Amino acid sequence: MSGPAPAKPCAPLAGAHTSKELIRQLFDLNTVFEISQSFHSVLDTHALLDGIIMTTIGQMGVGAAAVVVQMPGESQRLSLTRSKGWVDIDDSEWHVELRSPFAKVLHNEACPLLVDDILPRIDTDPHFVDFLPRVGCALVAPFAGRDRLRGVLYTAPKLNGHPFTNDDLQFLGMITQQISIAVDNAILYESERRAARELIAARERLVRNERLATLGRLSAAIAHEVNNPLGIIRNYLQVMRDDLAANPHTLDTLNMVADEVDRIARIVRQLLDAFRPDASRPAAIDIGEVLDAVLVFLRGELKRDGVTVESSGFDNLPFIIGREDPLRQVFINLALNARDAMPDGGTLTITASADDEFVTVSFTDEGCGIAADALEQLFDPFFSTKKDGRGTGLGLSICRSILEGFGGRIEAENVDGPGTGAVFRVCVPRVDAGSDPLQSDTDLQQGPDS
* Binding positions for ligand ADP, rule: CB under 6 A: 333, 337-338, 341, 365, 367-370, 374, 378, 383-386, 391-397, 422
**In the complex with ligand ADP, which residue's Cβ is closer, 172 or 378?**
378
Question: What is the nearest approach in angstroms of ligand ADP to the Cβ of residue 416?
Answer: 14
Question: What is the nearest approach in angstroms of ligand ADP to the Cβ of residue 48?
Answer: 41
Question: What is the nearest approach in angstroms of ligand ADP to the Cβ of residue 380?
Answer: 8
Question: What is the nearest approach in angstroms of ligand ADP to the Cβ of residue 396?
Answer: 3
Question: What is the nearest approach in angstroms of ligand ADP to the Cβ of residue 341?
Answer: 3
**In the complex with ligand ADP, which residue's Cβ is closer, 45 or 384?**
384
Question: What is the nearest approach in angstroms of ligand ADP to the Cβ of residue 266?
Answer: 8
**In the complex with ligand ADP, which residue's Cβ is closer, 197 or 386?**
386
**In the complex with ligand ADP, which residue's Cβ is closer, 397 or 401?**
397
For residues 209 and 261, is the Cβ–Cβ distance under 8 A? no
**In the complex with ligand ADP, which residue's Cβ is closer, 333 or 435?**
333
Question: What is the nearest approach in angstroms of ligand ADP to the Cβ of residue 445?
Answer: 17
**In the complex with ligand ADP, which residue's Cβ is closer, 139 or 394?**
394
**In the complex with ligand ADP, which residue's Cβ is closer, 313 or 367?**
367
**In the complex with ligand ADP, which residue's Cβ is closer, 394 or 402?**
394
Q: What angle do CA 199, 202, 204 make, to 5 degrees?
A: 110
CA torsion, ordered 82, 83, 84, 89, to nearest 10 deg: -130
Question: What is the nearest approach in angstroms of ligand ADP to the Cβ of residue 334?
Answer: 7
**In the complex with ligand ADP, which residue's Cβ is closer, 79 or 362?**
362
Tell me the C-alpha distance between 138 and 57, whole Å.
13
Nearest CA to 56 among 204, 169, 196? 169
Question: What is the nearest approach in angstroms of ligand ADP to the Cβ of residue 379?
Answer: 7
